[in-house]
Amino acid sequence: MDLALSKEKTDIARMLIRRRLGIEAAAGELEEQLSAAKKEKACLVETIKDQQLQYETLKARAETWQRRSENDPFVSAARSFSVDGRSGQIRDEEIELELIRRKQALAQDGAA
């Protein structure tokens, strides 16, 4: 740029100044983005540390609960039953019998 100015090539000097200002502006924006990315990274690192601690705490609690439940006769007995309190499956015949009983009861209520 100095050479262009010394030889009075003002058009070339203007072009070089325009490029330089554009590059400086882009560099400034990149520095701001880098700074923001570093701050975000620091926040994410802290979040991960917090979540890791929570995970370890929950894992320890789960292991403690599991050890306790293995020795608890109530929990062991509860595992052998299904959700509806029966240890086996409901048979289709039981369902059909209950359906017939309910139909008969409905018919008797309607006739009375």
Cα 75 to Cα 47, 65, 66, 81, distances in angstroms: 36, 11, 10, 10
Summarize pLDDT for 10-51 with one digit per residue, the tens: 888 888 889 999 999 999 999 999 999 999 999 999 999 999
> Could you tell me the pLDDT band of residue 111, with boundaries at 50, 70 and 90?
confident
| Spatial CB neighbours of 30, under 8 Å, sequence gap ≥ 6 | none
> Could you tell me the pLDDT band of residue 65, with boundaries at 50, 70 and 90?
confident
Collapsed DSSP state (helix, strand, coil) of residue 83: coil
Q: How far apart are CA 22 and CA 94, in angstroms?
A: 84
Q: Residue 106: what residue type?
A: L
3 contacts 16 by C-beta, under 8 angstroms: no
Summarize pLDDT for 74-100 with one digit per residue, the tens: 766 666 665 555 556 778 888 899 999
